[in-house]
Structure 1
Amino acid sequence: MSEANGAGDTLTIQLNGEARTCPPRLPLLEVLLHFGYEPRLVVVEFNGEILPRSAWAEQVVGGDAVLEVVTIVGGGS
């Protein structure tokens, strides 16, 4: 699933069911920022498991990654 060329400048991952490209070898936290997510307001399923926030800065995202990102929406009455 990786589309890294000889220079290794892109990586294809599955994000919320769609193939998306990002720079390779980024930690999950940086991938979220790359796609415009506010890390404080999301929950991430990484390859089928909810990944704790404490692991995001260390978890490198590879070309086989499948991410489901759910945005937390506040509200109430």
Structure 2
Amino acid sequence: MRLTINGEEKAIEPSKNPLTLSKLIEQLGHHPRLIVVEFNGAILPPDKWEQQNVEDGDTLEIVTIVGGGS
């Protein structure tokens, strides 16, 4: 399966079960509470990740939330 993640095309091994966005985020090593995900042009809230299947050709932008300041 080919996905575009943060502007880069990536090959993801297909699995027997449908790949959900939640599983993909885990597979990519992201902590779900520290990111925002744009899925095919729309920001998808975390409570929808488990139901959202990821398919060949999908586009994701994953933004990491960073705290800080002075």
Provide, for residues 9-64 of structure 1, a one-character-per-residue CA deviation record: whole Å limited to 9, x for no partner. Answer: xx110000001122333100110111111111000000000001110011000012
Instruction: Compute the RMSD of aligned alpha carbons.
Output: 1.0
Gaps of 5+ in 1: 1-10
Distance 1:14 1:32 in 2: 13
Long gaps (5+) in structure 2: none
Runs of 4+ in 1 over 4 A off after TM superposition: none
Aligned length: 67
After TM superposition, the score normalised by the length of structure 2 is 0.88
Aligned-pair identity (%): 48
Q: Which has the higher contact order (CA 8 A, sep 6+)?
A: 2
